Chains A and B, each alone.
Chain A
Amino acid sequence: MSSSLRMASGILGRATRNLASIEATPSHRILPALRNTSQPQCRAYTQAQRPQYTHNVQCAFAARNNFSTTAFRARAKTMGQLRQRNSTGPFSWKAALLFVLTGAGMMIYFRVEKARLERKRIAEMSKGVGRPKVGGPFVLKDLDGKEFTEEDLKGKYSFVYFGFTHCPDICPDELDKMAEIIDKVREATKDDKLFLPVFITCDPARDTPEVLREYLKEFHPGIVGLTGTYEQVKNVCRQYRVYFSTPKDVKAGEDYLVDHSIYFYLMDPDNDFVECIGRQDTPESASKVILEHINDWKREGKPLKVE
């Protein structure tokens, strides 16, 4: 075994000496190095009784693939290598590239993390004790007449909007925006169940399930319409801090408008308030904010209920 090793290094050494004199050959930097590195590196192969010939070839590759360039730079044997080292000092384009890439990578990482922590801070502001809370328990009914409570919002990101069907101009604009946001978010998450858009009427006297269904259908079929009794609606508006001015006793056929806040409320799967989307937001900016929160939630591995 040791004799075959000696023979191998002998052959290699001879070949190297011949080649090392030709400085212009591209391999001149590798072959001298082989003389030093091949022996210990190839021991594994020789011990495995590899045929001598292939063993040489494999070692050549092994040395070539060895990326610890500094190791054999330190043992520079030829004038060419020394000259190159002296001209550049300890710096090389590889080191520079590594430096720049690491720096850029760190910068990007810190920016992303900073933005994420900022969002997390906003999201967690509404959690915990002693904070003003938006949202809370309510009982309403959906358009099929089934009971719908805050429990039905849990496990999903819900997007709550208050309005009424006789709204002159703001609600229709906002609902068109809502439809665009729904499509954008669902397309990006590739999930129809994760994002739940909800429309709660502030005007239950006129907005019965049938009216709501026809109305919402014109905007987006995915919007869940909710209505209830006057007291139930008043309660949910209070929970969400929505200004509620619906007249209580309306004469039949009387026409009136309802003042209400015009914000969308983004609620996380724990049903805690996350963010407001207002008139100034475009569908693009709104869906970006929503997707960022959804992705943060997913990345933290928190539970989602997607049945």
Chain B
Amino acid sequence: MAGSSRLTSVSDWLRPQQNRMIVLLVLAGVAMLIPLVVNNYVLEVLTNAWFYTILCLGLNIVVGYAGLLDLGYAAFFAVGAYTTGILTSKFGVNFWLTIPVAVSCSMLAGLIIGGPTLRLRSDYLAIVTLGFGEIVRIIARNLDITGGASGLIGIDRPSIFGLELSRGIHFYYVFLLLAILACFVSYRLQNSRLGRAWQYVREDEDAAEAMGIGRVAVKLYAYVIGAMFGGVAGCFFAVKMTAISPETFTFSQSVLILLGVVLGGMGKIPGVIIGAFALVLFPEVFRGLGSMRMLIFGIVMLVIMLYRPEGIWPQKQREM
């Protein structure tokens, strides 16, 4: 395939550290300056893409690094969003103070669901996480404090150094910065003792155990860190939208995030970013097709998966 070899040669060129830094700086520059030249609609779409980048990178830690299939990731995102939503709108807590609380709550949710279930092997885990995702949504739908089916409205916009974050461009930069932070954290984790442990467990659980790696603890780590990413994204999502409802956190939301990870290439940071962008941009670009666009989106994904089952981003080439 011509496309594939071109992508491989791009990745060859990207191998030296220096070339990588150049590309990263150029991309960061473009991302920083782009709001100055585009209209509000495009800005909104790009903001959304950065938002999904954070979620996909979070799920990538669970699915890509540790190899655990999670079908209920939206739950962690929901816990973050609702914690911030409730604390700011019902108790008048300053937004910035809700972040640590929301992150702790989503990490706790990760522990609660992960603790008893991570002993299961992958297929069972997928079903349990699916159930957990639905439980969280249904709880949110039925409690008074979460506003029931209509959700929470009137969540205050936060301000920083006297500037109220209310315009599209503000949130563009907020989500861009968070996405960069998420990349940085993912990158550091990937190349660490813990990152390697995830890979060992993913490749062969028993051999990893025999090497002195506690598989349950290592998986739980991945789960909790993934939940943390979701929680942070949820906090900022709540204040950006100023309203949240249980229908934002459905099973299809979880699947969409998973799709971004798989589409771009599990375990590969640039791949996951491309996946997140594809997820958001494709339906927008083909808006003109009307009701056909989701069908075409589906077909395109099918084709990508058929020809590049490892994801869009090329596999790391190693010296033979």
Q: Do A and B bind each other?
A: no
B interface residue numbers (CB < 8 A to A): none
Chain A residues in the interface with B (C-beta under 8 A): none
